[in-house]
Chain A
Amino acid sequence: MKCVILAAGEGKRMNPLTFTRPKVMIPIANKPILEWNLLNAIDAGIKDFIFVVAYRSEMVRNYFQNGKKWNINIEYINQGKALGTAHAIGIVEKFVNDFIVLCGDTIFGRKDIKNILKTNPSIGLFKIKNAEEYGIVKTKGKNVIRIYEKMEKPLSNTINAGIYHFDKKIFDYIRNTKKSPRGEYEITDSINMMSKEKNTEGIFLEEWRDVVYPWHLLDANEEILNKIGKNIEGTIEKNSTIIGNVSIGKNSRIMNGSYIEGPVIIGENCKIGPNCYIRPHTSIGDGCHVGNACEIKNSIIIKNTNAPHHNYVGDSVIGEECNLGSGCKIANLRLDKKNIKVVLNGNKIETNRRKLGVIMGDKVQTGINSVINVGSIIGNNVYIGPGSIVSNEIRANAKIV
């Protein structure tokens, strides 16, 4: 049994985070999305993996290598040009017999993967409230009748979750799959052909976390952090307070007067404090510095980034190698308490969140006492001058003075 993980996508809706990494390599709770998926699949008993890669594939390869670190085998197949999910699955034909497929950017649970493994062919289904963004599945008894493209007014709230169990026969259907109206070869079209000719079981999942837009990372982060335990490998100075499940990596130092409320994960080689407040559901990657009089809450700070003095970071995702100037603060709540809308790649999007700070790319520098407004998107290498007020979408390399 092999597990094929689709990890080729660029993830344009995750810009600016995906300008410098593929979507599956965005970290949640200090591990790439793909690793969480891999760990669950390993727990479900799978040993052989094929990663279908393309966009910035070297990052996936460098991180996971041949899988030895996890005692598994990982093979890589480069998809080439991204021509859709049917194309991505089609190219592994020569390397698989009986296999399951996971979309690498969705996190699936261990038990659900086990259930999918038992039945061939089968498709993972999930019930959600707002199904407009997903393929809708029509079922009859146990079986899938048809998968529809996303609809404005969904027929039902059962969606295609993005996990499948196939055998060699699927490739005949894939070969006969035509390009969809949006110009891609979709596996759902292949499945619709298959489900007409043979029973294809729909299996309802218990857990499912899809991340489409950057603010969804915060939800996934919260979910995963709720499950972590306490694990302290770094050093904690006197007069620091650690409450609840907090994980602190090697060589990290928690300095006098720090107050950390779990669940919180802090990577290796970090310098935290003195006198800072880290609140629940915060992930701080390796090599970060959170200094005096800083408060961090419900946020992801990726790596080698500093919030060194007098900073507030709430409900935000901050990229690698950023530096916040002294007194730079990030707003995360509108004064009228309304839901926050975001402008991403020029489109205005409703986030359905009341609290959202900033989504910041890599290597951003902010000046002292600069202010970043709720729901801002800041591209890579942006330079924000002292005292500036920033809102909405700021494109990469911009200088704001």
Chain B
Amino acid sequence: MCGIIGYNGFRNADRVLIDGLKRLEYRGYDSAGIGVIGKKLNIYKEVGEISKLEKYIPSLDGDLGIGHTRWATHGSVTKENAHPHLSGNKKIAIIHNGIIENFKTLKEELEKQGVKFRTQTDTEVIAHLIEKHYKGNLENAVYSALNKIKGSYAIVAICEDEPGKIIGARKESPLVIGVGDNENFLASDIPALLKYTNRVIFLDDGEMCVVNKNSISIFDENNKEISKEEQLIKWDFKDAEKSGFPHFMLKEIYDQPDTVQRVFLGRISEINRNINFPEKVVNLINNNVSSIHIVSCGTSFYSGLVGKYFIEKLTDIPVVVELSSEYRYFGTKKEQSLVIGITQSGETADTLAALKEAKNSGCKTLVVTNVIGSTATRIADAYILTQSGPEIGVAATKTFTSQILVLFLIGLKLALLNNRIGADKLYEHILDLKGLSKKVRQVLDKSEEIKEIAKILKDSKSIFFIGRGINYPISLEGALKLKEISYIHAEGFAAGELKHGPFALLTKTTPVVAVVTNDSTYDKMIANIGEVKARGPQVIAIAEENDTEIEKHADYVLRFPSNSSILSCVSIAVILQLLSYYVANLRGCSIDKPRNLAKSVTVE
């Protein structure tokens, strides 16, 4: 994920750009750059935070420019790989957020025609393509270039020969136009604009815009001019980083239609039916993996448990999930076994220690994390990023769903490498993944129903969460979320385990949240709900949309979109997150900063 900003107006562009980039820093900050057209086009880039770039640029007199803050996905973190990228003649500069899937083919074609590449990024291809199509009109050149590109992008382009305009275009990556007076803006996100204007136009997929100082033209995917309404943003300035949500946690829950998609952007290719991981990762897991240990803590531990179900189901490789703090001292560390550490921050001390122990014992170590350049990425042999963007709420939400999807991709890759699934089966899974974002959105659309259930739960002293199979760890996570932020005692159980002990705690005033999916566990779950009901508690079932039976058994039902796939656990996780959020909110808890907890636990 990267941040983009463009400015065309009367202020000093460099100041506006730096200012906007600082507001976009949450989208990534391993390197940054700006390009400003004054008398000519000047580019400045720097590795590190925006403030570093700010110190380095001289005072520029241009009033048009573009800026970019990068979170590396293709190509390492270097000054060269930072945006903006230039065309061969250095007259056109572009910034890009997204992934160009066919960039290798395009690069080879261009190289054959004698184009010299300066960087390892996929973005540079676009700059050269625009130059190739440039005949004195930048928007036409951008339009032609984008026709060649497959993948996702938000791009912004400027050209020294046409110093009065900025071109923006988007597909599957965000881009919004900020409408000002005698000035206009482009940005990945509204907070970058709010200081200067609260009037915006949202671009939709496939649309392109020409942004002049006093006018804006928008074109559809057929290059036909269209008109779009400008919208007024009514958030307060201080709410800006939360995109208007009252808490970071809620914002992050609502990020998920986007973040689940970002997990597989650039990693699944429909065309050659493969899962693409960095070479280091592939080498690591391609080598007779006989057993897997997943080590992690807290929410990451539960995503590990979900991953166990995925990986074992897809590959038959036995997976042991252990708490980092336990594994470090007591886990078996066989040489050549694969140890996967999961840590959102990449700095979790327990997990780092466990990884070090594993590495010293000759295990192969792989890390799933959200933060590039974190300690974990340096300790492990290889790493995979969840690409979720910064998570600020202490209670993990979007990174949980992203982690389980990364583990799903690892399972798929292992299955492919070991010839356990064929291209057709893989294709089914890819379609599943692609449909996930929409399903999560459908769940979010039902937040009002979830709020009603929260009203029922808010005064409980204790709440149980039960599920079977993959929904057992999902129940554990549901309980953890609730207790973390609402301070209500909550426990997750495998539904079959209730009768082996926990029943003793069950009273009329202990509501039970039961996850019921239409699979081989369905009848057993119904039986378990019956057992619970017999003891008096209220049962809130989380069930599929087309499940008409469930009303007869449960007191309340929350629905998720019917989906026979094992990925429905993602939608369920989102329901449980919202439920916890609303309960905590009704209780007036400090949601983003629960008592006694820290986002990144750097002590053992």
A residues adjacent to B (C-beta < 8 A)? 57-58, 75-78, 80-81, 91, 94-95
Contacts and interface: CB of A to CB of B under 8 A. Distances in A.
B425 interface: no
A94 B198 contact: no
B182 A58 contact: no
B196 interface: yes
Contacts of A75: 181-182
B197 A78 contact: yes
By size class, the interface of chain B is 10 to 19
A78 B10 contact: no
A94 B10 contact: yes
Contacts of B11: 80, 91
A94 B13 CA distance: 14
A95 B195 contact: no
Contact of A58 (B180, B195, B199): B199
Contacts of A78: 180-181, 183, 196-197
Contact of B195 (A76, A80, A94): A80
Nearest to A76: B181
Given A91-B11, A94-B10, A58 B198 contact: yes
Interface string B151-181: 0000000000000000000000000000011
Interface string B231-272: 010000000000000000000000000000000000000000
In order of increasing CB-CB distance, the 7 nearest A-B pairs are A76-B181, A94-B10, A80-B195, A80-B196, A78-B196, A81-B195, A58-B232
A263 to B, nearest CB: 37
Interface in B172-228: 180-183, 195-199
A57 B198 contact: yes
Given A76-B181, A94-B10, 16 more contacts: A57-B198, A58-B198, A58-B199, A58-B232, A75-B182, A77-B10, A77-B181, A77-B182, A78-B180, A78-B181, A78-B183, A78-B196, A80-B11, A80-B195, A91-B10, A95-B182
Interface of B: 10-11, 180-183, 195-199, 232
A201 to B, nearest CB: 30
7 contacts: A58-B198, A58-B232, A77-B181, A78-B183, A78-B197, A91-B11, A95-B10
A78 B10 CA distance: 11
Contacts of A81: 195
Q: Which residue among A75, A76, A80, A91 has the maximum number of chain B CB atoms within 10 Å of its CB?
A: A80
A336 B199 CA distance: 53
A381 to B, nearest CB: 15
Contacts of A95: 10, 182
A77 B9 CA distance: 11
A74 to B, nearest CB: 10
B46 to A, nearest CB: 24
A58 B180 CA distance: 11
A75 B183 CA distance: 12
Contacts of A80: 11, 195-196
Nearest to A91: B11
A179 B10 CA distance: 22
Nearest to B183: A78
B238 to A, nearest CB: 13
A57 B199 CA distance: 10
Contacts of B232: 58
A14 to B, nearest CB: 17
Nearest to A92: B10
Q: Which residue among B10, B181, B183, B197 has the maximum number of chain A CB atoms within 10 Å of its CB?
A: B181
A49 B182 CA distance: 14
Q: Which residue among A57, A78, A91 has the maximum number of chain B CB atoms within 10 Å of its CB?
A: A78
A370 B551 CA distance: 50
B5 to A, nearest CB: 14
A163 to B, nearest CB: 23
A95 B183 CA distance: 12
Contacts of B195: 80-81
Contacts of A77: 10, 181-182
B11 to A, nearest CB: 7
A76 B181 CA distance: 6
A50 to B, nearest CB: 9
Contacts of A76: 181
A77 B11 CA distance: 11
A155 B183 CA distance: 44
Contacts of B10: 77, 91, 94-95
A291 B196 CA distance: 45
A81 to B, nearest CB: 6
A80 B11 CA distance: 11
A304 B555 CA distance: 46
Contacts of A58: 198-199, 232
A117 B181 CA distance: 26
A80 B198 CA distance: 11
Contacts of B181: 75-78
A64 to B, nearest CB: 12
A177 to B, nearest CB: 16
Contacts of B199: 58
B345 to A, nearest CB: 32
Contacts of A57: 198
A76 B196 CA distance: 12
B468 to A, nearest CB: 46
